[in-house]
Structure 1
């Protein structure tokens, strides 16, 4: 990969589904008129390679990855949320900031619910 990041892959903000749900609940309970707009995320950028490596470590599965050699037009090399406003106005903050911790929680749930529910 050829992106100007620490390992050449895109940096993104991976949020755990329970954190996203908690953010929606917090906003719902503090609705305003007009409604506010919030950035929801961990506030921490993780590279795609770091995410894949964490997935491999947590699951024990050798995930096969096909790397894209060139960036797609318009694809930002680094992009993550800055959740300061939602934190300040509602008190919400992501619980699973560490990518491995969040993946362990999700993987444990998935193994306990093989049908997805």
Structure 2
């Protein structure tokens, strides 16, 4: 089994999250929890998490002489990472099948990416 990152992407122009209420989000939360339970029951679950709004991000750059800490995301974009699942799947096609279900549950686009293989010791 290989591990895959299923990342949920949002779009500020399309989401209008600031105008939605918790009541608007409740059906999505419930659908995602049902999806999470299915992942767990079928042994695909490794870890998952939803992220705070993008305005809560902080970027750290310690590639120069001194670290620079700035408020906000690294890249200014209307698209953002909203959450993710780390799953185990037999192959890429199986991971894609999970992503199809996850996308429906969270009502967002889901990117599928395999983790790198562990280097041999």
Q: TM-score, normalization: structure 1?
A: 0.26
Larger RCO, structure (CA 8 Å, separation 6 or more): 2
> Which is richer in strand?
2
Q: TM-score, normalization: structure 2?
A: 0.25
